[in-house]
């Protein structure tokens, strides 16, 4: 899941993480638990999975894919002709932005390319790179409002999908 890079500033984060090309955002892992709760993966969990040869990073992505269903988004922004130009990722599990890691699904929705925004830890957007001026204004307004009024702000910008790739090898 995506978290503010400031989570790791003190050097005492209890588990693995990866710094991303977007300086404000990093990636860490969590286990979803009952009643919409979660637990961040700690080094003890990582060491155990490594010891029993579980490729936990691959498994995490597979679990996310299975947990997400057919569509990565929860809401769609459509043109008058019905074409989707944007989607919101605001899932009840609170890790909607993690679905931005499902690049194949997003590329299928936006075959001409897409951009992303992660204004809040539980809300993200993906949208076409070919937005009309009015559509871009709609998306920018959504991103700005979510970042300014959200309970857990993440990053105010609009980014390329490759900006979500690790800057360095994950720990």
In a domain, 134, yes or no: yes
Tell me how crowded residue 9 is: count the other CB atoms within 10 A of its CB: 9
171 assigned to some structural domain: no
Q: Kindly report, residue by residue over 80-90, the tens digit of the pLDDT.
A: 999 999 999 99
135 within a domain of the structure (yes/no): yes
Kindly report, residue by residue over 22-64, the tens digit of the pLDDT: 999 999 999 999 988 999 999 999 999 999 999 999 999 999 9
pLDDT of 169: 54
Q: What is the pLDDT of residues 63-117, one digit of tens each?
A: 999 989 888 999 999 999 999 999 999 999 999 999 999 999 999 999 999 999 9
In the chain, % of residues over pLDDT 90: 91
HEC per residue, the chain: CEEEHHHHCCCCCCCCEEEECCCCEEEECEEEECCCEEEECCHHHHHHHHHCCCCHHHHHHHHHHHHHCCCCCCEEEECCCCCEEEEEECCCCCCHHHHHHCHHHHHHHCCCCEEEEEEECCEEEEEECCCCHHHHHHHHHHHHHHHHHCCCECCCCCECHHHHCECCCCC
**Do 142 and 83 belong to one domain?**
yes
Rounded CA-CA distance 153/64 in Å is: 22
| pLDDT confidence tier of residue 168, bands split at 50, 70 and 90 | low
The CA-based diameter of the chain, rounded to the nearest angstrom, is 54
The reported pLDDT for the residue numbered 170 is 47
Same domain for 22 and 49? yes
Same domain (yes/no): 24, 63:
yes
Average pLDDT of the chain to the nearest whole number? 94
84 lies in the same domain as 135: yes
- Can you give the pTM of this predicted structure? 0.92
| Per-residue pLDDT at 112 | 96
Question: Which pair of structure tokens corresponds to residue 171?
Answer: 């720990």
Residues 63 and 79 in one domain: no
Domain with 104, as residue range(s), is 71-164
Find how far residue 155's CA is from the centre of its chain.
11
Residues 32 and 53 reside in one and the same domain: yes
Residues 120 and 152 both lie in one domain: yes
Q: How many domains does the chain have?
A: 2
Residues 61 and 6 in one domain: yes
The average pLDDT across 129-158 equals: 96
Same domain for 14 and 33, yes or no, is yes
Residue 47 lies in a domain: yes
């Amino acid at each position: 899941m995506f978290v503010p890079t400031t989570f790791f500033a003190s050097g005492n984060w209890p588990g693995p993480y990866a710094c991303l090309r977007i300086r404000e955002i990093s990636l860490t892992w969590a286990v979803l638990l009952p009643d919409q709760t979660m637990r961040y993966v700690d080094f003890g969990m990582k060491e155990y999975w490594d010891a029993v040869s579980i490729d936990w990073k691959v498994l995490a992505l597979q679990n996310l894919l299975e947990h997400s269903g057919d569509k990565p988004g929860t809401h769609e922004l459509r043109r008058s002709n019905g074409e989707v130009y944007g989607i919101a990722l605001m899932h009840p599990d609170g890790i909607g932005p993690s679905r931005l890691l499902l690049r194949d699904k997003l590329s299928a929705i936006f075959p001409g390319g897409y951009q992303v925004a992660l204004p809040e830890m539980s809300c993200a957007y993906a949208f076409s790179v070919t937005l009309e001026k009015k559509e871009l204004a709609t998306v920018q307004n959504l991103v700005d409002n979510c970042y300014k009024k959200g309970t857990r702000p993440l990053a105010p910008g609009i980014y390329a999908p490759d900006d979500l790739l690790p800057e360095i090898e994950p720990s």
